[in-house]
Amino acid sequence: MRRRGPGCGCLGCGGGTLIVLAVLGALAWFLVIQPVRGFLASWQTPTTVQTQTQTPQGGGTGVQVPSLPGGDTGPGTTPAPGGNVGSPVTQADVGRFARVRQDVSAALGGSFTNLQNVWTDIQNGQTPNILTIVGVLRDAGTSIGRARQAQATALAREGLSAERYATIRSTVNRALGLPNVDFARAAEAIQAGRLPDLNTAVQTATPQERQLVEPYRQGLTQTAALGLLGL
């Protein structure tokens, strides 16, 4: 009768390895992949686009015309990218940005508290890892959809496109001495099987940029953690 070699269980060494891999795969699915997918699904929830009907003189069929940036935009209508996306940021731009951030913070609700704790750790020099990212995404949950809708509504009200808002955010982060860490982009990388970019380097601001932000510094500092979610 042949005896099994030492160290092999009833399933054999290969079977034990397969079980370990299966358990690790299940943990990765429930602890990482599912929260990332849930976050991205809520993140990509489409916002409402407001249209208005114009009826030609003399009758005829009305034509649905999208509201234009700077015009009478309806709730949830984000202006299209304009020619000013890369133009110098003004103090009025920073004021608009600050008002959008306040609306988004209110919409995120209790999830903002946990987000703020992670942000404080980053400010203290800690580099976030994948588990930290996933924890933030799980906490955000479906509230990220409400936050995105609130952002779209506020952008329409302030006459800002998403691209212009991102330009202002980079300027504000430099002026406040904050890194451009974006967990939303990190989630996309994780879902695609790539390692996320977690660079926490801070870019140096110009004296002019710091001056622009100064009147709004306190409020912007309080809502800066929203940048972790790309908001």
Q: Which of 202, 223, 230 is nearest to 106 (CA)?
A: 223
Q: In whole angstroms, how far apart are CA 202 and each of 88, 123, 181, 196?
A: 20, 10, 10, 18
Report which of 104, 132, 119, 103 is spatially closest to residue 176, judged by C-alpha positions: 119
**pTM, to two decimals:** 0.68
Bridge partner residues of 63 (DSSP): 54
> Which two tokens mark 102?
């306040």
**What kind and span of H or E run contains 186?**
helix 183-191
Q: How far lies 8's CA from each of 14, 20, 21, 22, in Å?
A: 9, 14, 17, 18
> For residue 49, which of 75, 25, 26 has the smallest C-alpha distance?
75
As given in the structure block, the two tokens for residue 148 are: 């995105």
Each residue's pLDDT tens digit in the chain (231 positions)? 555 555 555 545 555 554 433 333 434 433 466 666 767 777 776 454 443 333 344 444 333 333 333 333 344 455 555 557 778 999 999 999 999 999 999 998 877 877 888 888 888 888 888 888 888 888 777 788 889 999 999 999 999 999 999 999 999 999 988 888 888 888 888 777 777 777 777 888 899 999 999 999 999 999 999 988 888
The structure tokens listed for 161 are 């496109």
Answer whether 116's CB lies under 8 Å from 228's CB.
Answer: no
